[in-house]
Structure 1
Amino acid sequence: MRHPSLKLKLLKTLMAVILGGWLIWLLCQHDQVSRQQSRQGDLLLREVAEQVLLSMPRNIADVGSAGYLELPPTLAAAPTREFDKIRFQVWSLATGERVVASRKAPITPLKPDFQPGFGHVQTAGDRWRVYAVTDAEGRVQVQVGLAQSQVEAELAHWIRVSLISAIGVLLAFALAIWLAVSWSLRSTHRLRDGMAAREPLDLTPLPTAGIAREILPLVRSFNDLLGRLGVGMQRERQFLAEAAHEIRTPLAALQTQTELAMRATDPAQTREALQRLHGGIERITRLAQQLLDSARLEASRNEGREAIVELSDVATMVAREFEAMAERRHQTLVLTVEEAPVCADVDDLGILLRNLVDNAVRYCGEGGRIEICCHADPVAGEAVLRVRDDGPGVPEHERERIFDRFFRGSTGNGERGSGVGLSLVARIARHHGARIETGPGLQGRGLCIAVRFALQGETTAN
């Protein structure tokens, strides 16, 4: 994928603005010069015609054409740049004879109709701008002409010079702009070189000294991102360390129970050791599953797999999964559901509810009661999922902390949890924009955890 160059984009933009402005200026100048040349040309033609007429003797019409005088051979003709493009003729109106004419003037009259004033004529293979003036007695007429081809040639020369000058100026501007932009972006080059030289896990903030004001917000936002990444990586390191500790403890217990079972000679002792071994395996299996769920949540957080899910179906499915476990503990598992559609990831909802029910079943105690309730609250526009029990509960001052990773409450009914399950519940609820509420459980005892999702569509009771 090709990435546009900022320097090239700035250069193109500035050069386009300058070139556009110069073209507009050139068109205006061309129009102005054309008009100015036309006015000055007419004024020059009239001035030359009047001066020629006033310099002629009264008997010029009787002189006739007798040839032209020549300069001495030793004297070179002076260059006539301004007047070389002007031609004049002096005509005798009585005889229609050309009396006097400038060199290179056409043989035919510049103004064949001999009408005084300005006009355009086509003669001698060229188009001429002509001015004619007649003396007071009507005997002689002076005709002065300016070839349009020479005017156009002069204008083209001016345009050529302007174009060459403009190209030179534009190239100088382009070089100056390129150098100025390159100089202005030196700080970004230093940032790039500094980032390239860093270690892979170096998340220290980028230096902001000498950074241009326009780039400083980008660098600050990048530093904020580095800060958040640092906090996240620190949490992950802490999580891995604590998870390793949590796994190592039951593994050591499993090894101890295995050795006891191998050394036991009494069947009762062997059975007791195996039961403890089974409990340890169950605990480490649960911890491993929770750690896998945590990793899956991190991996699928931005996949966007949300869809309309019926919360009551998820509650029914999870309740059936825990029927056997509750029966072994002589517990009563009650399920009350209504239709409550939500927009969520069905796998995430399963993890959330499994951890809530698992927490209730494990800490409720033998012969306890667990209720799973799912219903819609149309007034609040929420779908409510509630799990409550009549176990020992959690002290009120600890209820907010039970959703922290690896936190264990002071009351556990003899059960030793991992401190991961409820943290998964909080993360999933936060990801789905849901609210978590805690309170006392059944008959003022135990714990109640309610998760409120945004309700989707209409519902009916079942």
Structure 2
Amino acid sequence: MRALRTRLLIALAAVLLTAWSGWFAIQYRDMMARQDGEANGMLRSIAEQLLLSLPSDIATAGQQRQFVLDRETKPVNGKFAALGFQVWEHGTQRRLVSSRPAPEHAMVPDFADGFSQTTIAGVPWRVFAISDTQHRVQVQTGVPEAALRAELKRWFNASLLTAVSLLLGIGIAIWAVIHWSLRPVLQISESLATRAPLDLAPLPERGLPDEFTPLVRAFNQLMARLAQALQHEREFLGEAAHELRTPLAALLAQAQVLQHAGDRDEAREALEHLIAGIERTSRLAQQLLDAARVDAGGAATRAEDIDLALVVGMVADEFELVALRGGQSIELDAEQAPVHGDIDDLGILVRNLLDNALRHGHAGTRVRLTTRLERAGKTRMATLIVADDGPGIPDGENERVFERFYRAGNGHRSQGIGMGLSLVERVVASHGGQLRCGAGLDGRGFGVEIRLPAAAGSAPQPERIQ
């Protein structure tokens, strides 16, 4: 019973059936009480009218010849067909008048006035007896209980048939209305079933029931995000293919130069270019792997309490040799800054920031990594600052450098495919942090400040890692 139409139909039918059953039960009880009252009133009224219609001289009553109809009468259906009456003389208990349905003996054997229940020929009867003021005659009227119940049964059957017909008609009407209301949804479903695999065009919202419009609108928003993500992936694949093709071609060319080098100097130069190309290709491959890991999500399930200062220290040790080889220096000013996060993603964050600063800096560039624990209102935030005194980036491009595939246009930041800082932004977002950038050391270069929620129960610590 997963179909919405079936659920709605069953729910509405159950409500209608419950309401009708309650109403019918009330009507049935009311009908029974009303019929009892009407039957008693009918018996009493007939008895009184008969008594008032009798002559006062009853000496010869019951001895005259009876009238006969000129034709056979058809039996009357209903409770009145079984109605019987008798007129008896007190004292002699002689029957003066009697109707056809009435029995031969007195319906009220003890001749007591009023209503009573009796059994005649094994059939329960409801009878009423009334006497004149002189107590000379008594009129008895009665009707079988079966006749009353038969009348009630006929009413019950007719009412039940009418109600079932109405419920069936209402059910068909409800089913038709539900089917008509859900027709736009079925059309959307059919349209989706025939779409191409990568067709992410929005679904039409016009003509939909109000209850389904928010669902379709949210689905369209999801489709828009998927289309944007798919476009990014297409751009990423195109850029990655281009960036990988270029260094691979350069590696092949340098290998060929090295193979045909005429002297040691030419071979050394070709080897240096070959090593640089391998490093650039390795860095590009690492960024592609990092991007795949971050985009896959799941950081929340892998999160644990970790000191951001330790992550910074480990990454700084990895890049120490790179900095020395380039004539650069790494300064570490790290206080304990516990956070709840994925250590691998945090390593990607710090590694890309430090690699970006060293790779785009010149000889003599200083890169300082700072971590500390700060209070922001009632919450504590772990802060990471990576700043350098290198060439920096053009004014007005501070925010754009974190866009995926974006590369600053001043020449010294044109290497790579623009993924490093975009990875940083996505890692910060997945950890619920904040990111901003600006000038670096001594008002020069480039600096990035990242604020992440501190681990629960953490407090500022004076200990530093140098």
TM-score, L = length of structure 2: 0.90
* Partner SS, residue 398 of structure 1: coil
Partner of 1:461: 462
Gaps of 5+ in 2: none
Q: Is the 8 A contact 1:389 1:446 kept in 2?
A: yes
Indicate how the Cα distance of structure 1 residues 410 and 174 shifts in structure 2: closer, same or farther if over 3 A, else same.
closer
Look up the match of 1:262: 259
Residue 352 of structure 1, CA deviation: 0.5
1:79 alignment partner in structure 2: 75
The farther-off stretch of 399-408 and 287-296 is: 399-408
Structure 2 CA distance for aligned equivalents of residues 118 and 415 of structure 1: 113
1:78 aligned partner, one-letter code: K
- Is contact 1:91–1:98 with CA below 8 Å preserved after alignment? yes
Number of residues of Structure 1 aligned to a counterpart in Structure 2: 458
Residues 79-113 of structure 1 show CA distances to partners (whole Å, capped at 9, x for unaligned) of 23352232222222112333332233244533344
Q: Give, in whole Å, the separation in 2 of the partners of 1:51 and 1:311.
A: 109
Do the aligned residues in 1 keep the contact of 2:244 with 2:281 (CA within 8 Å)? Answer: yes
Map of 1:384 onto structure 2: 383
Deviation at 1:123, TM superposition (A): 5.0
> Against the structure 1 CA distance between its residues 210 and 447, is the aligned structure 2 distance closer, same or farther, given a 3 Å change threshold?
closer
SS of aligned partner of 1:416? coil
What is the distance in 1 between the residues matched to 2:392 and 2:162?
Answer: 89
State how far apart, in whole Å, the 2-side matches of 1:150 and 1:214 are.
Answer: 55
Instruction: Classify 1:62/1:126 alpha carbon distance in 2 versus 1 (closer, same or farther; 3 Å).
Output: same
**What's the offset of the Cα at 1:296?**
1.6
CA contact (8 A) 2:407 2:413 kept: no
Report deviation, 1:159: 1.1
Displacement of 1:290 in angstroms is 0.5
- Structure 1 residues 337 and 67 mapped into 2: Cα distance closer, same or farther (>3 Å)? farther
Q: Residue in 1 aligned with 2:235?
A: 238
When residues 449 and 67 of structure 1 are mapped into structure 2, their CA distance, relative to the original with a 3 A threshold, is farther
The within-5 A match list for 1:169-180 is 169-180=166-177
In structure 1, distance between residues paired with 2:203 and 2:331: 57
Deviation at 1:414, TM superposition (A): 8.5
User: What does residue 19 of structure 1 align with?
Assistant: 17
**Aligned equivalents of 1:31 and 1:126: distance in 2?**
24
Identity %: 43
Structure 1 pair 221/440, CA: closer, same or farther in 2 (3 Å)?
closer
Partner Cα distance (1:163, 1:16) in 2: 17
Aligned letter for 1:75?
A: R
Determine whether 1:416 maps to 2:415: yes
Deviations 1:138-184 (A, max 9, x none): 11011112222321222122212221222222222222222222223
Report the secondary structure of 1:119's partner residue: strand
SS in 1 for 2:267: helix
CA offsets 1:204-236 (integer angstroms, 9 cap, x no match): 222344434443333333333322322222222
Partner of 1:7: 5
Residue from 152, 155, 171 that aligns with 2:152: 155
Residues 296-345 of structure 1: per-residue CA shift (max 9 Å, x gap): 21122586433333222222222222222223234332323222222222
Once the two structures are superposed, the pairs formed by residues 31-110 of structure 1 within 5 Å of their partners are 31-60=29-58, 63=61, 69=66, 71=68, 75-81=71-77, 82-110=79-107
1:125 alignment partner, one of 122, 125, 140: 122
Structure 2: distance between partners of 1:299 and 1:227: 19
CA distance in 2, matches of 1:441, 1:193: 57
Q: Is the 8 A contact 1:387 1:449 kept in 2?
A: yes
**Residues 1:137 and 2:134 aligned together:** yes
Matched, 1:307 2:304: yes
Query: Are residues 1:291 and 2:297 paired?
Result: no
* Superimposed CA distance per residue, residues 125-146 of structure 1 (whole angstroms, 9 cap, x where no aligned partner): 3443322211122110111122
Contact persistence 1:92–1:98 (CA under 8 A)? yes
- Aligned letter for 1:80? V
Report which stretch shifted further, 34-43 or 78-87.
78-87
Q: Tell me, yes or no, if the aligned pair for 1:126 and 1:147 is still in contact at 8 Å.
A: yes
Matches of 2:295 and 2:19, distance apart in 1: 55
Give 1:387-402 correspondences, 5 Å limit: 387-402=386-401
Unaligned runs of 5+ in 1: none
Q: Distance in 1 between matches of 2:285 and 2:422?
A: 15
Relative to 1, partners in 2 of residues 1:61 and 1:358: Cα closer, same or farther, differing over 3 Å?
farther
Change (3 A) 1:43 1:408: same
The reply on whether 1:185 has 2:186 as its aligned counterpart is no
Q: Distance in 2 between matches of 1:55 and 1:177?
A: 60
Q: 1:441: which partner in 2?
A: 440
1:30 corresponds to: 28
